[in-house]
C-alpha cells in the first residue's frame, strides 16, 4: 500500500475530522474536549508551535498525528488511523516522522496521555520508546477512566 506523509493542510481537514469522529466518538456520552472539530484542526495548523501530519493515499487521508511544542518538549495530542487501514504500521510511520520533525526542532522530551484501556495506542507508544510516568485518576469524565501519562526523554 503506497502512501505519503505530509503536512496537514486545509484540503485534508474534513477527512481528518471524519476520522477523528469515528476514532474518538463515544456515542451520546462523548465529551467535546476529546473530539476535535474541523475548526479545531484549522486553528491547530495555523499555530507556530504545532506540527500536524497526515498519511495520504492519493487524495484520501488514511491517518494523522498532531503535536504541540513548548521549548524543547513535544506533547503528542492525537494519532489516529482510518479503521480499515489499521495494523499496517501507518501510526508507527506517522510517529517516527513526527520524531524526525521534532529532531529538527531540537526536541528532547515527549509527553502524552492515553486511556488506560487503549491497548493498541499503548503498544504503539511503548514500541516507540515511551515509558509510563504516572496515572491521572478518573481523568476522562465520560466514563471515569484513568489517563496513563507516558513520557520519552532523549
Ligand X SMILES: CC(C)(COP(=O)(O)OP(=O)(O)OC[C@H]1O[C@@H](n2cnc3c(N)ncnc32)[C@H](O)[C@@H]1OP(=O)(O)O)[C@@H](O)C(=O)NCCC(=O)NCCS
Is residue 81 part of the contact set for ligand X (CB under 6 A)?
A: yes
- Answer whether 146's CB lies under 8 Å from 135's CB: yes
- Only one residue has cell 474518538, namely 24
Total site size for ligand X, rule CB under 6 A: 20
By CB under 6 A, is residue 40 in contact with ligand X? Answer: no
- Decide whether 87 or 106 has the Cβ nearer to ligand X: 87
The answer to whether 48 and 42 have CB atoms below 8 angstroms apart is no
3-state helix, strand, coil in the chain (%, to 5): 35, 40, 30
Which of 9, 10, 60, 89 binds ligand X (CB under 6 A)? It is 89
Q: Which of 121, 132, 133, 149 binds ligand X (CB under 6 A)?
A: 121
Helix (H) or strand (E) holding 90: helix 90-105
Q: Which of 114, 147, 148, 152 binds ligand X (CB under 6 A)?
A: 114
User: Which residues make up the interface to ligand X (CB under 6 A)?
Assistant: 23, 78-81, 86-92, 114, 118-121, 123-124, 127
Amino acid at each position: 500500500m503506497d502512501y505519503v506523509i505530509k503536512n496537514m493542510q486545509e484540503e485534508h481537514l474534513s477527512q481528518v475530522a471524519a476520522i477523528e469522529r469515528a476514532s474518538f466518538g463515544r456515542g451520546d456520552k462523548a465529551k467535546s474536549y476529546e473530539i476535535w472539530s474541523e475548526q479545531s484542526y484549522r486553528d491547530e495548523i495555523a499555530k507556530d508551535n504545532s506540527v500536524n501530519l497526515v498519511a495520504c493515499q492519493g487524495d484520501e487521508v488514511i491517518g494523522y498525528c498532531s503535536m504541540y511544542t513548548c521549548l524543547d518538549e513535544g506533547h503528542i495530542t492525537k494519532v489516529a488511523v482510518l479503521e480499515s487501514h489499521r495494523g499496517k504500521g501507518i501510526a508507527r510511520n506517522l510517529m517516527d516522522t513526527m520524531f524526525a520533525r521534532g529532531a529538527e526542532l531540537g526536541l528532547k522530551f515527549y509527553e502524552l496521555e492515553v486511556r488506560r484501556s487503549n491497548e493498541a495506542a499503548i503498544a504503539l507508544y511503548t514500541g516507540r520508546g515511551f515509558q509510563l510516568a504516572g496515572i491521572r485518576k478518573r481523568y476522562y469524565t465520560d466514563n471515569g477512566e484513568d489517563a496513563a501519562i507516558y513520557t520519552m526523554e532523549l
